[in-house]
A and B are shown apart, each in its own frame.
Chain A
Amino acid sequence: MWPQLYHRSMKHIVKIMTLLVGISALWFGLLKTSMVPSSHTLLLPIYFIMCLGCYGLLMVGVGLMRFPTCPQEALLLQQDVIEAKGYLKQRGVDVGSE
């Protein structure tokens, strides 16, 4: 059933909803069967959201640290601009100041 449910023609929001419903069902199941003490189980959604938040912040932080920069590209671009202006000016294209 699951592979068919996750067919690509299914709207993305529906996929997310089924995921949430599935997780909620798991959570209810845990509450009902009391395999784990219910005091712990009730807090699980809070833990889940906290973990999600931490994961998100971690991803942002790591991404920020590893953010690819290219200072040399600005220099190369300047050279390209000079070359372009020289070529075009000779051929009658107006490349005066903007």
Chain B
Amino acid sequence: MAERNKYSIIIPTYNERLNIALVVFLVFKHLRDVDFEIIVVDDGSPDGTQEVVKQLQQVYGEDRILLRARPKKLGLGTAYSHGLKHASGNFVVIMDADLSHHPKYLPSFIKKQLETGASIVTGTRYVKGGGVHGWNLMRKLTSRGANVLAQTLLWPGVSDLTGSFRLYRKSVLEDIISSCVSKGYVFQMEMIVRASRKGYHIEEVPITFVDRVYGSSKLGGSEIVEYLKGLAYLLVTT
């Protein structure tokens, strides 16, 4: 009855020379007795990320770590599509390389999916058991405000719309990704909203998010405008 599941973990990278090694170590540490592969989609990092990936392949095996690089920065959405083409698992995990997504939550994603039969399991930072570290008050305020606005307008059915730590049934990811056109974090929102509209079974697990990129002002006025435009687009097209 228990089919053998294989999990393809797609990690887009750009200049994550150190972090990718740490992430790979932690994935292997927390996913014992699980059939998985890691697909690193590197966009031509100048810092030698690909060299480190090749060293990791020597340690863990070239069948467990796939390097599927691209010549330059080509965007997140296409990175996932590119990784998908090489994925041999029946489930796909997407996560960030910078350790804001901790691999220790991977077992809980897998467990949730097995328990519920869900098509998508998404990590949420905003429920009990989850959380964020490294955000100041302003950042929390904008996050909360953005979330309330999105919930009111879109009724998405998930608590964390912009999160990008997710487990998808491979066929479901292929279906959704073909209909998404946005960029950046709006892309993440579009994916989960479209999935919700199509009626896919979505479950959530709490995750903690440690933001190590201190001091980078990722939320200027233009970011907010982009967000509002993204919301309007999703409101009308989904």
Q: What sequence of 0s and 1s flags, for each residue 26-63 of chain B, a beta carbon within 8 Å of any chain A beta carbon?
A: 10000000000000000000011001100110110000
Main secondary structure of the interface of A (DSSP, over half): helix
| Residues B25 and A87 in contact, CB atoms below 8 Å apart | yes
Chain B residue numbers with a CB within 8 Å of A59 are: 148
Q: How far is the CB of B44 from chain A (nearest CB, A)?
A: 18
Residues facing A in B101-156 (CB within 8 A) are: 102, 125-134, 140-141, 144-145, 147-149, 152-155
Q: What sequence of 0s and 1s flags, for each residue 186-204 of chain B, a beta carbon within 8 Å of any chain A beta carbon?
A: 0000000000011100000
Q: Please indicate which of the listed interface residues A80, A91, A93, A94 has the most CB atoms of chain B within 10 Å of its own CB.
A: A93
Chain B residue numbers with a CB within 8 Å of A11 are: 236-238
Residues facing B in A9-30 (CB within 8 A) are: 11-13, 16
Q: How far is the CB of A29 from chain B (nearest CB, A)?
A: 26
| Residues A12 and B154 in contact, CB atoms below 8 Å apart | yes
Asked if B235 is at the interface of the complex by the 8 Å CB criterion, the answer is yes
Q: How far is the CB of A28 from chain B (nearest CB, A)?
A: 24
Chain A residue numbers with a CB within 8 Å of B210 are: 70, 73-74, 77
Asked if B18 is at the interface of the complex by the 8 Å CB criterion, the answer is yes
Asked if A44 is at the interface of the complex by the 8 Å CB criterion, the answer is no
The complex places the Cα of A22 from the Cα of B172 at a distance, in Å, of: 35
B238's partner among A12, A67, A85 (CB-CB below 8 A) is A12
Q: Provided the pairs A8-B199, A56-B148, A92-B58 are in contact, do residues A69 and B132 lie with their beta carbons within 8 angstroms?
A: yes
In the complex, how many residues of chain B place their beta carbon closer than 8 angstroms to a beta carbon of chain A? 47
| Residues A67 and B132 in contact, CB atoms below 8 Å apart | yes
Chain A residue numbers with a CB within 8 Å of B238 are: 11-12
The complex places the Cα of A88 from the Cα of B93 at a distance, in Å, of: 23
| Residues B59 and A74 in contact, CB atoms below 8 Å apart | no
| Residues B144 and A12 in contact, CB atoms below 8 Å apart | no
A93's partner among B55, B134, B145 (CB-CB below 8 A) is B55
The complex places the Cα of A83 from the Cα of B103 at a distance, in Å, of: 14
Q: What sequence of 0s and 1s flags, for each residue 20-44 of chain A, a beta carbon within 8 Å of any chain B beta carbon?
A: 0000000000000000000000000
Residues facing B in A49-90 (CB within 8 A) are: 56, 59-60, 63-64, 67-71, 73-74, 77, 80-81, 83-85, 87-88
Q: How far is the CB of A75 from chain B (nearest CB, A)?
A: 10
Chain B residue numbers with a CB within 8 Å of A74 are: 133-134, 210
| Residues A60 and B141 in contact, CB atoms below 8 Å apart | yes
Q: Please indicate which of the listed interface residues B52, B208, B236 has the most CB atoms of chain A within 10 Å of its own CB.
A: B208
Q: Provided the pairs A11-B238, A56-B152, A70-B210 are in contact, do residues A88 and B131 lie with their beta carbons within 8 angstroms?
A: no
Chain A residue numbers with a CB within 8 Å of B56 are: 88, 93
B155's partner among A12, A91, A92 (CB-CB below 8 A) is A12
